[in-house]
């Protein structure tokens, strides 16, 4: 039996990487696990688009992972990672 599910690639922006590296190790691991889950199951997940933009949000505890989907290249661009209110406020102020 062949698995037709193809894993997408996650590209983490320099901003998201800096924010991720500042978090406690256990939270970093939770977020990495969530990103890996997203890459493996991207085609069956109901993605939550943010109001007024093209970005999506994925919850990992009290943290949010802001991302874009590139269907052509099967790539997930991780734009930002942070606490719920802080992340959304920064995104709106761009």
Count of structural domains within the chain: 1
**49 lies in a domain?**
yes
- pLDDT tens for 28-67 read 999 999 999 999 999 999 998 988 889 999 999 999 999 9
| Neighbouring C-alpha atoms within 13 Å toward the C-beta of 15 | 12
**29 lies in a domain?**
yes
**78 lies in a domain?**
yes
- pLDDT tens for 70-81 read 999 999 999 999
**1 lies in a domain?**
no
Query: Domain containing 54 — which CATH number?
Result: 3.30.2310.20
């Amino acid at each position: 039996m062949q698995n037709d599910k193809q894993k997408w690639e996650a590209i983490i922006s320099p901003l998201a990487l800096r924010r991720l590296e500042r978090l406690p190790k256990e939270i970093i691991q939770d977020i990495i696990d969530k990103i890996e889950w997203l890459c493996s199951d991207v085609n069956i997940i109901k993605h939550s688009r943010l109001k007024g933009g093209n970005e999506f949000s994925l919850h990992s505890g009290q943290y949010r992972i802001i991302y874009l989907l590139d269907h052509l290249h099967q790539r997930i661009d991780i734009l930002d990672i942070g606490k719920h209110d802080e992340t959304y406020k920064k995104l709106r102020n761009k």
